[in-house]
Structure 1
Amino acid sequence: MTENRTADSSAPLVLVVDDEAANLESVARIFQKEGLRTATAATGEQGLDQLRRERVNVLVTDLQMPGMSGVDLLRAARTVSPGTEVVLMTAYGTVETAVEAMKEGAYDFLTKPLKRHNLVKSVRKALEKQELVEENKRLRARVAQLSKAGGIVGASPAFRATMDIVRQAAPSSATILVLGESGTGKELVARAIHDLSNRADGPFIPINCAAIPESILESELFGYEKGAFTGAVGRKEGRFERAHKGTLFLDEVGEMSPAVQVKLLRVIQEGEFERLGGTSPVKVDVRLVAATNRDLAQEVKEGRFREDLYYRLNVVKLGLPPLRERTGDVLLLANHFLRAFCEKNGKQITGFSKQAQEAMERYGWPGNVRELENAVERAVVLSRTEVIDLGDLPETVRGAADAAPASRAIVIPIGTPMDEIEMRVIHETLRHTQGDKTLAAQLLGIATRTIYRKLDREKSAGEPETV
């Protein structure tokens, strides 16, 4: 067994296994000329030993070898090195065997005599696939870090549509304007945009423009020089400088004074600003995400917000749906928060009673996800049993259950897709019939198999997402 180390140590490693010495050396030289690290083995047993000792990106193996065959090596590789892609080399007479091997996880097979172009192309494609798989793993790990108490969780079409825009816009450098009611998770979306962008390794700096007095906001954003005002005993960096090479999140940007709006516009246009009391421009590379619960277009019309700044911020507009338009996510979110707060408070609570679930689904949640999170935390703290009951919920939520009429109505916002309307009606009817699909079908005037088919289709559309 030999190994070539002349290539860059960060280059992918290709392991070639073949009992024919001439073919082994020829194939190895091809990959070496491509700038790949190579290792060779004359038997399947030697190849398996190499897989155990070092991370191999692509395994290129002959199919028919004495002792451990290429198929046997493939099966062993799936166990000891599942991330390794496998390309098989085979004679024409064993193509059927190679096809069967692909069903067991091989990436590709090539027939002998080998053509250099086909060999290189196959391995390059295998490396691309492996990189894509690894990137997806890293992405899932990054997204999982956000899936915590207060995280954005959802499976409803409205939520998925929002997240589609987030994924599309995040890798760009465009400024994003996030619109939504208080408590819908605007900062969490901003963090998701940052974490899914190429600035993920840089800082994420948030600032709530409504929580800082107007006289202080300018210095918080742009910093100041020593002596800029009484009490400025030294230079201070502002949020823009701290966000260099990262993302600055301007929450409640609609609360900015006209003077601060002018300075913000200059930063967006020129990529530079001056600290308070300073004379030298400071250049920064910052991606802006702004958010507000105000109607900025109306604010522009009424002269309270600069039109030019509005259009600079509104490159990509992202509207967060209120929780009342995500009724299918209420219980999903509630259970998400339940697990988090049980762990935080050291409690063993298995779920919510039927009455509690119905009350949470009927309630309008004017405070949106934040209100739901607080309600679940309160219930976890106060509950004395293993199941959260109606009495553990806040009085406002319990009132929704008391006020619910015997004949339930469904409120559906204008613009809701027909598929979502259909599934809401089905789910609501099933809750009314306590899960009896036959009775639900009779009430809806459709065949029972139609309900089963639509529920199966909804399930296959994907598991709930977390970001």
Structure 2
Amino acid sequence: MKYKGKILVVDDEIDIRESLSHFFKKEGYSVDSASSKKEALDLFSKYEYDVVFLDLKLPDGNGLDLLKEFLELNLESQIIVISAYGNIETAVSAIKLGAFDFLEKPFSIYQAKLALEKAIEKKKLTLENLYLKLSLKEKEEQALFIGEDPKIKQVLEKAKIIATTDSNILITGESGTGKGLLAKKIHEMDLIYKGPFVCVDCGSIVPTLFESELFGHVKGAFTGAHTSKIGKIELAQGGILFLDEIGNIPLDLQAKLLKVIDEKEFCPVGSNKIIKANLRIIAATNKNLKEEVKKGNFREDLYYRLNVVHFHLPPLRERKGDIPLLANYFLNYYSKKFNKNIKSFSSEAMNIFLNYDWPGNVRELKHLIERIVIFSTKNIITKKDLILADFEIPSKKASNTSEETIDSENILPLEEVEKNYILKVLKALNWNKSLASKKLGIDRKTLSLKLKKWNIIN
């Protein structure tokens, strides 16, 4: 008989467990059963169930509480709540929490069968939608690797080679060039570390929580540690730990990370238990780490441990020949996503793209075209569509800055020019950081990091 799915029956009444298990096994399903909350959680944590029949009254806990825990562990599992004490309020509460259906005891075996078949169909549709979204996401992320520029082709060739080794990797490049996407691509191709891909955004973690985030902690390790927590290093066992914006890790933690790399082991905060660290580290940054080493902000020994293999992603302004390819790729992607029939760009619109410097790089181009497609009502994108999507078209003066004269006595450092301009933009927009980052063509995280670096708080 064809295998139809895996079911868990949770009920403290043995007759119900046995009758449902016997019937569904005959129908071709794999069935497990549990008589308590603890037993059910143990099973649910180990196996993936398509459908769960869950009694609301259990000897060691409330079924609605267990329903919440099930859905936290696996949103795709369909939960059918059963109870002899059911009423409309209980049914509504269960459905609001995420249950698929509600059966009130006594119910016939055929009522249970009908509910099961509907739940299996819902699970199938849920997975199909999930696979479709993942497929679209994969197509979106492939944009980084579209292009004929020799620099991008070299990156891909190096990625294929490094996937056969266990060396640590450092990826550099401006914000928006696709450092995280390259790390994921390397993970996809990795022949050694096939385990999970675990990302740590070093730019958004509160400094005092860095150590706990990376190494985990045991209960009572510090004030507020009411439960134990597994750190990202342990979660990445057998896979890749991606340290995004590595330049933001505090110096004291850099020493501990160096020890993990050298000794391949670590201890959670507040524990003497030694845990082996079997993983590859990929770090990324938009900072110049060599300069950070000179300034004393980054350990030289850690820099060389991470920089065994170096990838640099060029900014979009250095690979302008790829702009038409990328623009058309995103146009096709978002046209399908939003069910529109947009075919191409006008030559005027494409020339505007080619004469723009793209400070936000590929990410800025992607988000711009998404907005353009949302607002467009025609099948060809024109200059008007760019304006409608809030794209500030560069003036001729801005695009010919090389012809402007500069007073040699009043030359400012590039960072100071950037700082002054960003502050002017923020003031003009009443310190709306989300709008400012959009206008500047950078993400909000990058803007926040710059303000933090300049000690500007608002």
SS in 1 for 2:199: strand
CA gap of 1:201–1:405, structure 2 versus 1, over 3 A, is closer
Q: Which runs of 5+ in 2 are unaligned?
A: 1-133, 404-458
SS in 2 for 1:399: coil
Give the match for residue 292 of structure 2.
299
Give the match for residue 190 of structure 1.
183
Give the match for residue 40 of structure 2.
none
- Kindly indicate whether the alpha-carbon contact (under 8 Å) linking 2:218 and 2:228 is maintained by their aligned counterparts in 1: yes
Residues 1:212 and 2:192 are matched in the alignment? no
Give the match for residue 422 of structure 2.
none
The structure with the larger Rg is 1
- 134, 151, 154: which is aligned to 1:158? 151
Give the match for residue 385 of structure 2.
392
- 293, 298, 301: which is aligned to 1:308? 301
Report the TM-score, using the length of structure 2 for normalisation.
0.55
SS in 2 for 1:291: strand
Give the match for residue 262 of structure 1.
255
Q: CA offset at residue 146 of structure 1?
A: 3.8
Give the match for residue 464 of structure 1.
none
CA gap of 1:231–1:352, structure 2 versus 1, over 3 A, is same
- 350, 359, 382: which is aligned to 1:357? 350
Letter of the 1:332 counterpart: L
1:335-374 equivalent positions in 2, closer than 5 A: 335-374=328-367
- Kindly indicate whether the alpha-carbon contact (under 8 Å) linking 1:222 and 1:274 is maintained by their aligned counterparts in 2: yes
Equivalent-residue separation in structure 2 for 1:189 and 1:149 (angstroms): 9
Give the match for residue 58 of structure 2.
none
Equivalent-residue separation in structure 2 for 1:401 and 1:273 (angstroms): 55
Give the match for residue 147 of structure 1.
139
SS in 2 for 1:400: coil
- Kindly indicate whether the alpha-carbon contact (under 8 Å) linking 1:149 and 1:341 is maintained by their aligned counterparts in 2: no
Equivalent-residue separation in structure 2 for 1:214 and 1:154 (angstroms): 39
Residues 1:274 and 2:267 are matched in the alignment? yes
Letter of the 1:258 counterpart: L
- Kindly indicate whether the alpha-carbon contact (under 8 Å) linking 2:335 and 2:342 is maintained by their aligned counterparts in 1: yes
Residues 1:235 and 2:228 are matched in the alignment? yes
Q: CA offset at residue 245 of structure 1?
A: 0.5
Give the match for residue 243 of structure 2.
250
Q: Which runs of 5+ in 1 are unaligned?
A: 1-141, 410-467
Equivalent-residue separation in structure 2 for 1:169 and 1:369 (angstroms): 24
Letter of the 1:148 counterpart: E
CA gap of 1:150–1:161, structure 2 versus 1, over 3 A, is closer
- 301, 305, 312: which is aligned to 1:319? 312
SS in 2 for 1:385: coil
Letter of the 1:189 counterpart: L
Give the match for residue 122 of structure 2.
none
Q: CA offset at residue 235 of structure 1?
A: 1.6
- Kindly indicate whether the alpha-carbon contact (under 8 Å) linking 1:170 and 1:194 is maintained by their aligned counterparts in 2: yes
CA gap of 1:265–1:404, structure 2 versus 1, over 3 A, is closer
The number of residue pairs the alignment matches comes to 267
Equivalent-residue separation in structure 1 for 2:262 and 2:328 (angstroms): 45
Partner deviation per Cα, 1:217-268 (whole Å, 9 max, x = no partner): 2111111101112222222111111110001110100111011101110110
- Kindly indicate whether the alpha-carbon contact (under 8 Å) linking 1:391 and 1:398 is maintained by their aligned counterparts in 2: no
Partner deviation per Cα, 1:409-462 (whole Å, 9 max, x = no partner): 9xxxxxxxxxxxxxxxxxxxxxxxxxxxxxxxxxxxxxxxxxxxxxxxxxxxxx
- 366, 371, 374: which is aligned to 1:378? 371
Equivalent-residue separation in structure 1 for 2:196 and 2:399 (angstroms): 50
Residues 1:226 and 2:219 are matched in the alignment? yes
Report the TM-score, using the length of structure 1 for normalisation.
0.54
Letter of the 2:291 counterpart: Q
CA gap of 1:169–1:376, structure 2 versus 1, over 3 A, is same
CA gap of 1:275–1:405, structure 2 versus 1, over 3 A, is closer
Percent identity of the aligned residues?
A: 43
Give the match for residue 171 of structure 2.
178
- Kindly indicate whether the alpha-carbon contact (under 8 Å) linking 1:390 and 1:398 is maintained by their aligned counterparts in 2: no
CA gap of 1:403–1:147, structure 2 versus 1, over 3 A, is farther
Give the match for residue 85 of structure 2.
none
- Kindly indicate whether the alpha-carbon contact (under 8 Å) linking 2:193 and 2:280 is maintained by their aligned counterparts in 1: no
SS in 1 for 2:317: helix
Equivalent-residue separation in structure 1 for 2:139 and 2:191 (angstroms): 20
